[in-house]
Amino acid sequence: MNALIEFVKPILVPLICALVIVGVLPLITGYIVLMERKIMADMQARLGPMRVGPHGLLQPIADALKLLLKEDIIPDEADKVIFWIAPLISVTAGMLAMSALAIGPWFQVADLNVGILFVVGIGALGLFGIVLGGWSSNSHYSLLGALRSAAQLVSYETAAGMAIVGALLLAGTLSTREIIMAQSDYGVWFIVAAPVGFFIYVVASIAETNRAPFDLPEAESELVAGYMTEYSGFRWALYFLAEYTNMVVVASIATTLFLGGWLRPFAGTPAFNFLDFAPSLLMLVVAGYSFYRAPKQPVKVQKLFMIGVGLAFLGLAGILAAPLSASVNAMLPGLKPGLHGAFWFLSKVGLYIYLFMWLRFTFPRYRFDQLMRLGWTFLIPLSIVNVMGIALALVLHRQWGWGHVPAFGLTTVLTLAVAGWLAQAGEKKEKEHAMAGGEA
Amino acid sequence: MADQRIPFATHADATVLGADEIILNMGPQHPSTHGVLRVKLRLDGEKVIGSECVIGYLHRGVEKIAEHRSYTQFAPYVDRMDYVAAVSNGLGYCEAVEKLLGTEAPLRARVIRTILTELQRIASHLFWLGTHALDIGALTPLFYCLREREEILKIFEKYCGARLTTHAFRIGGLQYEAYDEFEKDVERFCTPFDKRVDEYESLLTENRIWVGRTKGIGILSAKDAIDYAASGPVLRASGVKWDIRKAMPYAAYDLYKFEIPTGKNGDTYDRYIVRMEEMRQSRLICLQAIENIPAGPILGKVGKVLKPPPGEVYHAIEAPKGELGYYIVSDGTTQPYRVRIRPPSLINLEAFDKMIRGHLVADVVAIIGTLDIVLGEVDR
Amino acid sequence: MLDQIVFYFFATLAVISAVLVVTRRNVVQSAIFLITALLATAGIFLQLHAEFLFIVQVILYAGGIMVLFVFVIMLINVDVSLHQIQFNRQWWLGLLLALVLGAQLTVAIAVGRSGLPLGEPAPAKMLEPSTQLVGRVLFTEYMLPFEIASILLLVAMIGAVVMAKKKI
């Protein structure tokens, strides 16, 4: 028994963190889907799910149950083993990638010294789930979706990688924790120093996660459902879980690299210390709104549920406010960075995902050749120029003693000029292409 | 195990067609072929080098049914052809029979017919815009379009009790008098509607992705459009100023002022712009018409049993999708000897092969969308 | 103890997968086992605290190269290989030769073991993060080979494009 305790002791905290990720992530994913449907409904002058629970709050649970109970159909001519295992690969890769991310200073499974590369590399392995699933379904639509997915990921992974390199140059390390600490040392987030890099990463990460306007692998008007066409029931749900997990992963990477990770906005400036109250206030507002809506629910159960939601948020507000009092802070000094760090990290991830959704409901879809042209002739050259620009700024700063502002200002302007030139050249090419297409 | 895998592509016989060609079958069950259209595409990689539309999955023999129904009985059937523009179908048929009988509906009936038909044109174009944008990947416009279309359908419902297959008109005029609030309802819909069209345009017209997906896609030159006998917005987007409402006025169109919007390049983008402008023009027609709906009877003098004199007649109207023509032959009995319908969707669809050649597979859905076909009308 | 369990797990996985790569008839399944073998090797790298090597193995081999492999394999018709005879009539000769070679190697190692220099394994914590180490060596000592390799890759890439595309 003692031996077992000794054995478990060093891996206890990582083990708990891992269990939390595996256990809570599907639930969070369900609620991201609900949020997406609600936001979509709001933008489209509808209400969205309203039936299961007040304001559809229990919809994800009902959906998960329904999908669990559905018949698991495997097509006759499918390659059964691969068909069976493909969604698992996608989900596993997504969850494994979460393990190297630092969600707040205390919540991290493993602080690898190749952390960010680990997240990117393992996350990319999820592609095999898509490709193999598409192949094993033995259907043209699935296969075309899988092929598009593979081609798209390989193309945009390059641009995303180069954008990441830009931020890594600034940080000088690969460990997720140290990258965030480096931003704390600089005093600004890397989005300020490398705005172009952030932009490239946003675009490339949308393409990598197959979200609109780059959702060609599952373009419903062309390929029915792409690689998921033949999937049903829980296996289909696993693909969905993988897709949203990947969204969380890319959002976390962007947060870590460019948005200061768990750091509060203006973390180094005491004048902005009042922002420490923001988490509690936000929770209070949500709780207040729940109480306000509670009497308007049609059924008693729903009223009680709404009050319950309000109380839960009230409790969260209390927990987030607790470390602000001096006595609690003195007793448990780690509580504040841990809790508030997680709050800020998750808020930034949420905002990033909201951006994804916003773009999805606004834009039409790219055509595949346009997507490839955008990737290869605009984003990849721009990302290389961006890396050179950041390197130049670092040289100006470190070797020649320029200040941060002029050095990074100059290189950003230069990079933007190159971006403008690339865009113009691309437009010209596009026009020629359109003309040629018309003549053919 | 997987012994009989479907190969990725059915390679056509190398000696006949060349080894690079593959055949891809889209439809009849596909989310964006607008019903049950089936398109056989010949592809070189992703490039379309030839296509064949296979139609008839929704064939109900409407023209044959007509030969076994009396003139009045057949009227509801035409609503089922272009089911997103039932009012226009009904107008064409009623006027064709009236022409055969040698009568004309009273002025009040014709004005109300004009208003309802123009509202139907707006509804049809809204539905086209929503689904076309959805095919190209924009999710949101569909809901805005359906929100507006709902208002029009409510007016229809108040007028004749039906929303989709309205059967709004009767041969010789109207069956129902306009309800009390009719003008007010139409005005309430039309007055803010141009702002709504601007709203849709703000989502799409200058959107780079939208322009990239539609400009230069599916070009149909003016000559080709005429050669293919294309009509409606498809023809006008190619730069031909031809609108039956102006050229051979029917109903009460000669009373109102409106423009015929035309395009220049005949590509998908121009067809989009033309239809958007047509909605604005339809709104103007409605607003002019409700200002002064003349008093008078709504049903002309037609007998209880219709027995047109022997003879034949062709009557065409400008339906939302193009020239909708009815060719009716009467042998002097209560049933038509032959009814032939010229459906605009079918004739416009014939230009599909010309438009798709040289484009990519993804453009197929864009071009099917821009032709604005309704399979109920194509197959009849 | 734990280290050994992990090592033998990865080693067994790698060996079994490698055997299955050769013996599976279905090309796609072979590709999957190749991925497994590569990942198992990556696991051993990780256990040796060569994190950079581990992640390069995952990103480049399992991630990049295998995706292209699978990409191409998916486009070909798997039926053909399923119906072909996998081994020709000389399989027993091949097996015999392999066994002889294996025996020779075993004997050679067993006999000459004392002559093989085996350095003391460095304690894990003593190493610098291997990424910095690899980077420094690559850009100072091995600068020239590194650049030559990159030019070689460029030439290969251009060659592939020229061969694949009929007209440029």
The partner residue sitting opposite A118, judged by closest CB among C55, C66, C71, is: C55
CB of C78 less than 8 A from some CB of B: yes
Say whether pLDDT at B17 is over 60. no
pLDDT in tens, A148-180: 888 888 788 888 888 888 888 888 888 888 888
pTM of the model: 0.81
In what helix (H) or strand (E) does residue A39 lie, and over which residues does it extend?
Answer: helix A12-43
Question: Which H helix or E strand runs over B23?
Answer: strand B21-26
* pLDDT for the residue numbered B102: 84
Using CA atoms, how far apart are residues A187 and A263, in angstroms rounded to an integer? 10
Give the pLDDT score at A435: 57
Measured distance CA(B81)–CA(B116) in Å, rounded:
18
Residue A199, helix vs strand vs coil = helix
Provide the 3-class DSSP secondary structure of residue B326.
Answer: strand
CA neighbor of A118 nearest in space, from C136, C41, C58: C58
From first to last of its 168 residues, what are the pLDDT tens digits of chain C? 777 888 899 999 999 999 888 887 777 788 888 888 988 998 888 887 777 888 888 888 877 788 778 777 777 666 666 666 666 778 888 889 999 999 999 998 888 777 777 666 666 555 556 777 778 888 888 889 989 999 999 999 898 888 877 655
Query: Which residue of A363, A374, A435 to mutate against B (max B Cβ within 10 Å)?
Result: A363
Determine the average pLDDT of the residues in A386-393: 86
Q: State residue A112 phi and psi, 5-degree precision.
A: -75, 150
Chains contacting A (3 or more CB pairs within 8 Å): B, C
Predicted confidence (pLDDT) per residue in B206-231, tens digit: 888 888 888 888 888 888 888 888 88
Instruction: Please check the confidence at residue A429 and state whether its pLDDT lies above 80.
Output: no
For residue A224, the chain B residues in CB contact (below 8 A) are 30-31
Mean pLDDT of B102-117: 87
The neighbours of chain C, by the rule of 3 or more Cβ pairs under 8 Å, are A, B
- In angstroms, what separates the C-alpha of A3 from chain C's closest C-alpha? 12
Task: Decide if pLDDT at A436 tops 60.
Answer: no
Top pLDDT among C53 and A322 is at: C53
- Return the DSSP state at B11: B
Q: What is the structure's pLDDT at C122?
A: 63
Residue-averaged pLDDT of chain B = 83
Residue B2, pLDDT > 60, answer no
Query: How many CB atoms sit inside 10 A of residue A81's CB?
Result: 14
CA–CA dist B285, B256 (Å, integer):
6
Query: Residues A345-366, buried b or exposed e (16+ Cβ, 10 A)?
Result: bbbbbeebbeebbebbbbbbbb
- The residues, any chain, with a CB within 8 Å of residue A231's CB and separated by 6 or more, are A87, A133, A137, A239
Closest C-alpha among C54, B343, B139 to residue A115: C54
Using DSSP, state whether B350 is helix, strand or coil.
coil
Q: Is the pLDDT of residue A216 over 60?
A: yes
Q: CB contact, 8 Å: A393 with chain C?
A: no
Give me the pLDDT at residue B7, please: 44
Query: How is residue B305 written in tokens?
Result: 């049993």
Distance CA A107, CA A117 (A): 19
Burial string for C83-113 (b: 16+ CB within 10 Å, else e) reads eeeeeeeeeeeeeeeeeeeeeeeeeeeeeee
| B2 vs C contacts (CB less than 8 Å) | 26, 78
Could you give the CA distance from residue C140 to residue B120 in angstroms, rounded to a whole number? 76
pLDDT of residue C128: 59
DSSP string for residues in C33-85: HHHHHHHHHHHHHHHTT-HHHHHHIIIIIIIIIHHHHHHHHHHS-HHHHHHS-
3-state class (DSSP) for residue A9: helix
Helix B361-371 with B107-136: angle, nearest 10 deg: 170
Interface of B with A (CB under 8 A): 1-2, 4-6, 8, 24, 30-32, 46, 133-140, 142-144, 147, 203-204, 207, 209-210, 212-213, 215-217, 219, 267, 357-363, 365
In whole angstroms, give the CA distance from residue B189 to residue B289: 14
| Contact assignment for B2 to C75 by CB distance below 8 Å | no
Answer whether B5 sits within 8 Å of C78, measured CB to CB: yes
Q: What is the pLDDT of residue C166?
A: 64
Structure tokens that stand for B7 in this block: 């190969």
Contact A150 C67 (CB under 8 A): yes
Rounded to a whole number of angstroms, the distance from the CA of C115 to the nearest CA of chain A is: 36
CA distance C106 to A50: 71
| DSSP three-state, residue B24 | strand
CB B29 within 8 A of CB B17: no
Distance from CA of C132 to the nearest CA of B (A): 43
Mean local confidence (pLDDT), B229-257: 86
What does the pLDDT look like over A219-242, one tens digit per residue?
666 666 777 777 888 888 888 888
Report which DSSP code applies to B313. E
* A151 chain-C contacts, CB cut-off 8 A: 71
Only one residue has tokens 């259907």, namely A139
- 3-class DSSP state for residue A233? helix
Residue B286 has pLDDT above 50, yes or no: yes
Distance CA B229, CA B268 (A): 18
Number of Cβ pairs closer than 8 Å across B and C? 14
B2-61 residues touching C, CB cutoff 8 A:
2-5, 7-8
Write down which chains contact chain B via at least 3 CB pairs under 8 A: A, C
- Mean pLDDT computed over every residue of chain A: 81
Provide φ and ψ at A219, rounded to 5°.
-60, 110
Give percent of chain A above pLDDT 90: 0
Gap from B43 CA to chain C (nearest CA, Å): 16
CB contact (8 A) between residue C59 and residue A135 = no
Amino acid at A231: Y
Establish, for the pair of chains A and C, how many residue pairs have beta carbons separated by less than 8 Å. 66
3-state secondary structure of B329: strand
Highest mean pLDDT among A180-184, A193-197, A261-265, C152-156: C152-156
Q: What is the mean pLDDT of residues B81-102?
A: 87
- Highest mean pLDDT among A6-20, A73-87, C7-21 belongs to C7-21
Q: For the sheet containing B21-26, what is the strand order?
A: B21-26, B38-44, B47-54
The whole-angstrom separation of Cα C52 and Cα A117 is: 9
Q: Which residues lie below 8 Å from residue A244, measured CB to CB, with a gap of 6+? A: A29, A32, A33
Cβ neighbours for A290, distance < 8 A, ≥ 6 positions apart: A306, A307, A309, A310, A313
Q: Determine the residue type at A169.
A: L
